[in-house]
């Protein structure tokens, strides 16, 4: 038995030193909009700090949608660029309607090129949407797909014989379900279930499988199992597990070992493509000079004549970031940018006015699956021409404050399949406005 006894500790706190950072731009938010803004900013030589809680980035499929569906139409959009013209006519307040097509295209180009540099190649934005597979075997329209997934849409379009492989113990991805949903449109699709090498008991996770496939010995064992499962097919579809850090390399190695064409299909969260993006951002951006403080929430943002100050704390203690400009990219309800209160929807950091229905009873229609959508999903922050949030008097809240991402009002990104499009394009535009502001200040 231990000889130590508890005495009453004196009431005293250890002194914590506040760390101060100075920067030109502080980006609040760690979703696609926040990280895209960081990429655009560093490419423009703007000194940047980025702060934000994990957010929903890890839930992404890896597909980068621009515009997959018009609100009032049944059919999916094949040509998103032409659909943008329609959107401008029908929804002039939509964030994408405020951005020239060339800027949206450039934003996608710059964003996808960034990933390609670091072992996560993406298809570049094309003239038309790509018909891509979802985790449950339905189809969706998207603009850019990771190279690891690109062979799936190609095999579907060419109707090649293909086997969808799933794994014993892996929840959230069923080859049988994918085949059942696609069978009418892809008759030569079959499925096989195999054991993942050295994971023969209990629940297994895509993240763990992906990391194990970074090890050559695991790839060799999986390749042998895949060759057995493929039968006569030359194309294999797998849940998204092809490595975490070097997915293009892992896929190429598996293809070399099996002589099969292999593609990934996104899985339900917790899924690999989002973790890939997050870990890539978190490793690469600091090397590009970004002061990145991930997993932390900004607790206060104040503005003065000479600049803005962000307050936050990490495990080690308090931090203050002094900056010339701020981009607010805090997302919606899931990421904490917006909060639903009994009486109204509020913006959580500054209490910015939120464009929203007059009354809570108007947030939702009676039927959740109503094709016309729900008013709450179009609530958000209103902005001026320079992507600055508006105060109650309809003037910019502060000349140093800009905003990007799905916190913006007048869009329903889920219904229109435009989440990444809004994030990337508005980040592109907000950074352009920040750059203009900084030059004018200089």
Partner 1 sequence: MAETPIATINFKEEAHRLLPEGASFEACLTCGLCSSGCPASGIENMDPRKFIRMAELGMDEELSTTPWVWCCTQCKRCHHVCPMNIDISQLVFLARSNWPEDKKPQGIVRSCQMICATDSTSAMGLPPADFVFVVEDVLQEVQATQPAFRHLQAPIDKQGAHFFVNQNSREPMSEPDEMVPLWKIFHLVGADWTYSSIGWAAENFCMFSGNEAAWYEVIKKRVDAVNNLGCQVWLNTECGHSYYTMWQGMKRFGLEANFRLESLITYYARWIREGKLPVNAKWNSKGIKFTVQDPCMIVRKAYGEAIAEDMRFVVTSLVGEENFIDMQPNRSANYCCGGGGGFLQAGMTEHRRTYGKRKFDQIAATGAAYVLTPCHNCHSQMEDIGHFYGGNYGVVHFWTLICLSLGILGENERTYLGPDLLALID
361 contacts partner 1 (rule: CB under 8 A): no
Q: Which of residues 323-352 bind partner 1 (CB under 8 A)?
A: 334-335
138 contacts partner 1 (rule: CB under 8 A): no
In terms of DSSP bridges, do strands 189-194 and 300-304 run parallel, antiparallel, or are they unpaired?
unpaired
Per CB under 8 A, the list member of 294, 318, 357, 373 interacting with partner 1 is 294
302 contacts partner 1 (rule: CB under 8 A): no
13 contacts partner 1 (rule: CB under 8 A): yes
Per CB under 8 A, the list member of 161, 269, 318, 357 interacting with partner 1 is 269
Of the listed pieces 70-78, 279-287, 384-392, 409-417, which binds partner 1 according to CB under 8 A?
279-287
d(CA 384, CA 389): 7
Peptide bond before 29: cis, by omega within 30 degrees of 0?
Answer: no
Size of the site for partner 1 (CB under 8 A): 52
CB of 74 to partner 1, least distance (A): 31
Structure tokens at 424: 């990337």
Is the dihedral angle over the CA atoms 279, 280, 284, 286 positive or is it negative? negative
Question: At CA 317, angle to CA 314 and CA 320, rounded to 5?
Answer: 80
Residue with tokens 């590009």: 288
Per CB under 8 A, the list member of 86, 110, 207, 344 interacting with partner 1 is 207
Per CB under 8 A, the list member of 140, 297, 346, 374 interacting with partner 1 is 297
* Of residues 28 and 151, the one with the C-beta less far from partner 1: 28
Q: Which of residues 27-46 bind partner 1 (CB under 8 A)?
A: none
369 contacts partner 1 (rule: CB under 8 A): no
Of the listed pieces 5-13, 88-96, 153-161, 396-404, which binds partner 1 according to CB under 8 A?
5-13
* Of residues 245 and 365, the one with the C-beta less far from partner 1: 245
215 contacts partner 1 (rule: CB under 8 A): yes
3-state per-residue secondary structure call for 9-69:
CCCCCCCCCCEEEEEEEEEECCCHHHHHHHHHHHHCCCCEEEEECCCCHHHCCCCECCCCE
* Of residues 315 and 361, the one with the C-beta less far from partner 1: 315
The answer to whether 210 and 244 are in contact (CB under 8 A) is: yes
Of the listed pieces 4-12, 70-78, 121-129, 137-145, which binds partner 1 according to CB under 8 A?
4-12
CB of 51 to partner 1, least distance (A): 12
What is the maximum span of the chain, computed from C-alpha positions, in angstroms? Answer: 78
Q: Is 221 left (phi over 0), alpha (psi -120 to 50) or beta?
A: alpha
Per CB under 8 A, the list member of 27, 42, 162, 212 interacting with partner 1 is 212
Per CB under 8 A, the list member of 211, 288, 320, 377 interacting with partner 1 is 211
214 contacts partner 1 (rule: CB under 8 A): yes
Helices 216-230, 247-258: crossing angle, 10 deg rounding? 50
In terms of DSSP bridges, do strands 401-403 and 317-328 run parallel, antiparallel, or are they unpaired?
parallel
d(CA 67, CA 81): 8
Specify the DSSP class assigned to residue 202: S
289 contacts partner 1 (rule: CB under 8 A): no
Per CB under 8 A, the list member of 270, 289, 302, 414 interacting with partner 1 is 270
Residue with tokens 């920067």: 23
Q: Count the residues in the chain.
A: 442
The residues of the shown chain that bind partner 1, judged by CB under 8 A, are 1-7, 9-14, 53-56, 58-59, 198, 201-203, 205-208, 211-212, 214-215, 217-218, 244-245, 269-270, 275, 279, 282-283, 286, 292-295, 297, 314-316, 334-335
């Amino acid at each position: 038995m231990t000889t130590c006894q508890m005495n009453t500790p004196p009431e005293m706190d250890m002194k914590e030193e506040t760390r101060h950072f100075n920067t030109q731009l502080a980006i609040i938010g760690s979703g696609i909009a926040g990280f895209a803004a960081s990429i655009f900013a560093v490419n423009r030589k703007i000194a940047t700090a980025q702060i934000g809680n994990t957010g929903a980035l890890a839930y992404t499929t890896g597909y980068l949608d621009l515009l997959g569906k018009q609100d009032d139409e049944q059919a999916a959009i094949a040509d998103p660029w032409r659909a943008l013209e329609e959107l401008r006519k029908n929804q002039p307040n939509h964030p994408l309607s405020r951005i020239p097509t060339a800027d949206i295209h450039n934003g996608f180009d710059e964003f996808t090129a960034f990933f390609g540099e670091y072992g996560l190649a993406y298809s570049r934005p094309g003239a038309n949407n790509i018909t891509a597979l979802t985790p449950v075997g339905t189809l969706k329209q998207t603009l850019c797909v990771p190279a690891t997934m690109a062979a799936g849409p190609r095999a579907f379009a060419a109707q090649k014989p293909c086997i969808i492989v799933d794994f014993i113990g892996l929840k959230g991805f069923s080859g049988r379900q994918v085949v059942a949903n696609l069978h009418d449109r892809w008759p030569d699709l079959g499925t096989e279930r195999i054991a993942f090498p050295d994971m023969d008991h209990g629940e297994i996770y895509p993240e763990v499988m992906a990391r194990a496939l970074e090890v050559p010995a695991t790839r060799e064992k999986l390749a042998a199992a895949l060759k057995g499962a493929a039968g006569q097919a030359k194309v294999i579809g797998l849940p998204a597990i092809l490595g975490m850090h070097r997915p293009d390399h892992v896929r190429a190695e598996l293809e070399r070992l099996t002589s099969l064409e292999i593609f990934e299909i996104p899985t339900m969260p917790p899924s690999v493509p989002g973790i890939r993006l997050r870990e890539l951002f978190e490793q690469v951006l600091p090397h590009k000079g970004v002061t990145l403080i991930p997993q932390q929430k900004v607790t206060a943002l104040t503005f003065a004549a000479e600049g803005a100050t962000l307050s936050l704390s990490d495990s080690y203690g308090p931090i203050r970031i002094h900056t010339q400009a701020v981009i607010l990219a805090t997302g919606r309800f899931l990421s904490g940018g917006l909060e639903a209160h009994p009486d109204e929807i509020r913006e959580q950091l500054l209490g910015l006015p939120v464009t929203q229905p007059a009354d809570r009873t108007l947030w939702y229609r009676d039927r959740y699956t109503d094709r016309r959508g729900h008013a709450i999903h179009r609530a958000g922050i209103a902005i001026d021409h320079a992507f600055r949030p508006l105060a109650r008097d309809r003037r910019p809240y502060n000349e140093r404050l800009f905003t990007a991402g799905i916190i913006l009002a007048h869009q329903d990104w889920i219904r229109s399949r435009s989440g990444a499009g809004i994030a990337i394009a508005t980040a592109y535009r907000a950074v352009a406005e920040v750059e203009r502001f900084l030059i004018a200040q200089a």
